[in-house]
Structure 1
Amino acid sequence: MKHAILPPLNTLRAFEAAARLGSFASAAKELNLTAAAISHRIKELEGRLDIPLFVRQPRGVLLTEAGRRYHERLSDIFTQIEQATKSLRQQGIDGPLTLSAPHSFIHHWLMPRLEGLQARHPGLMLTLRGESQLLSFRDNQADIGIRFGTGHYPGLHAEQLMTDSVSVLAPGTLLNHLTDTRPASLMQTQLLLEDSSINTSEPWNTWQPWFREVGLTLEPSRHKMQFSDSGLVLSACAEGLGLCLCRHSITSRLLQERKVQAILPWRSHEFAYYLVSHPSEVDNPRIVAFREWLQEEIRAFEPP
């Protein structure tokens, strides 16, 4: 007895999507194809089956009775494939994953988004370590890291995540009650907040170039309040203590809440965020799952 030849999978996927969505155009969008490509694949499927599956109309398509029955069976099969694939991937994703990242990034950027990660991968047991020193990833202290720098991390796999920019920020409460909110006036009269861990060789990360930009001279005797971390500097600014220099990535939420406000244009930063891991762990299912989720969140993050 001659065995039936199965139609190509791409024709079945095109048919299932078009039947489920009721539109070639919608199926094309879901599968990242053109409507013409979807139409061509369905015609190929109908030719192989020698059965019409759709009735083409001026304003869309309708399933034939045969098409409806075929879709009911195929829909169950595709659902089973999706469930089997998800179960297979999830089996490798469930378990512990330790992330090392700067305190400021964890607190101000990552934590507000972690609910989405937990919803997608409930079996992923994430441990967060707030630190800036680079780990070897050989001593089980961390599985993966996020670092802000040049991307030169010998012996590690590094992947750029996103660039950043910096500006002078003022507390929203301060700007609400002052009559003179010109940048030069604020920088002359308000307390300056400073991150003591910043590398002074990084342009725009220190106060001097900002003072030059508004035509002022920063006196060496000018008092500044120092903090050990940029997240603490930002929190102090939001509390109304004074002006600070901060990156847009960790400031965005407070900007939206109008707790702080940039008083000068944002300047591109020479450094960027990088995802780092040991080269042997690049294909680790837990790291892959975290990286894919993180990249989606970054694509949705709007620059200034």
Structure 2
Amino acid sequence: MTRTPRLPLATLRAFEAAARLGGFSAAAEELHVTAAAVSHRIKALETELGTRLFDRRARGVSLTEAGHRYRERIAAAFAMIEQATTELGRPSLDGPLTVSAPHAFMQRYLLPRLDGLLHRHPGLELRLVGDNRPADLREGEVDVAIRFGSGHYPGLQVDYLSGDAITVLGPPSPAPDRTSSDTWREARFIEDSSAIATEPWSHWAPWWHEAGLHDPTGLHRLAVSDSGLALSACQQGLGLCLARFSVALDTLKRGQLIPLRPWRATEFSYYLATLPGMANMPRVDAFREWLRREMASLGRELEERRARRPA
């Protein structure tokens, strides 16, 4: 069985510093030792490993190919040590975190992606609250709230997450003729009664007008209490629905529904709201950074979709 060398940390630190800074003298200055001491440690390391890590020339030293490979792994190891040391002095990430978000966003977007967060932070104890009303952070109902709105929430720490877009969705087949008002008059329209009154494209009136349905009298309608139910009813073939991209994304990817009109940017966006005193807590910070990465991906996918023509 081959013996794995147990190398002194000071020797590895000397190599990492010399490789990063490009010379023994610079490494010696950073480590507060002499250049001769750095040279001696690296020579001992090369002897122990049986591999030359530096080419030594009159004008200085440079890493060999083996040295480059070794430096990448050693640098990563030291970065992990530094991170562990930093986190040791912080409050633990382990423990409860209560998150509020609109029902449909929670069910359709957040839940399918939470596995990545929980895998990365297994000690995080999430409590999820699906609620279309704005949670009261000041009363301690929740720790963080994902809100779809204007972003103007006085007294709270607010972080922008992502914009969104909305369109008409329907089943892939048979799909209503995009240009025929007669065909659209025969359709059933699923209405979300929780849609924000100040966001016009969340309601059917402008879409009907655009499709040439100037008199909505006699149209077939189905009312539901939130956008998640509207999307589910549409998937069941009960009619056409209006849906935001964030809520419908996974359904679109599976090809269960298709857009029947171009995507229109929503008036509002997604924000993460917290009390100022909690904004930098490790649990909140970890959740925020994870959510930012996820929703940056959402924004890229939205731009790709908006560049396509609807069915």
TM-score range, shorter chain: 0.7 to 0.9
d(CA) in 2 for partners of 1:174, 1:14? 67
Deviation for aligned residue 1:133: 1.4
Structure 2 SS opposite 1:169: strand
SS where residue 112 of structure 1 aligns? Answer: helix
Which of 248, 251, 269 is equivalent to 1:251? 248
Partner residue in 1 for 2:125: 125
Partners of 1:104 and 1:230 within 8 A in 2: yes
CA displacement 1:166-222 (0-9 Å, x = unmatched): 1010023543xxxx6435354221110010011333121111111222223242442
Give 2:148's aligned amino acid: F
Distance 1:256 1:13, change over 3 A: farther
SS at match of 1:234: helix
Amino acid at match of 1:210: W
Q: What aligned pairs does 1:31-50 form with structure 2 within 5 A after superposition? A: 41-43=21-23, 45=26, 49=35
Contact 1:192–1:242 (CA<8 Å) still a contact in 2?
yes
Q: Which of 167, 185, 189 is the aligned partner of 1:188?
A: 185
1:266 aligned onto 2:263: yes
Give the unaligned 5+ runs of structure 1. 1-5, 17-40
1:15 maps onto 2:16 in alignment: no
Larger radius of gyration: 2
- Corresponding residue for residue 239 of structure 1: 236
Distance 1:55 1:218 in 2: 83
Aligned CA distance change for structure 1 residues 74 and 268 (closer, same or farther; 3 Å): closer
CA distance in 2 between counterparts of 1:211 and 1:82 reads: 56
Q: Percent identity?
A: 38
Runs of 5+ in structure 2 lacking a partner?
Answer: 1-9, 30-34, 43-52, 57-61, 306-311
RMSD: 3.2
* Aligned twin of 1:160: 160
Aligned counterparts of 1:80 and 1:95: Cα–Cα separation in 2: 23
How do 1:279-290 residues align onto structure 2 when only pairs under 5 Å count? 279-290=276-287
The within-5 A match list for 1:1-304 is: 12=16, 15=19, 41-43=21-23, 45=26, 49=35, 51=39, 54-55=54-55, 62=64, 77-88=78-89, 92-175=92-175, 181-182=177-178, 184=180, 186-301=183-298, 302-303=301-302, 304=305
What amino acid sits opposite 1:286 in the alignment? R
> Structure 1 stretch 287-296 or stretch 191-200: which is displaced more?
191-200
Give the Å deviation of 1:284.
Answer: 1.2
1 CA distance for matches of 2:274 and 2:173? 41
Q: Which moved more, 1:269-278 or 1:212-221?
A: 212-221
Q: In 1, distance between residues paired with 2:78 and 2:235?
A: 54
Task: Give the number of aligned pairs.
Answer: 263
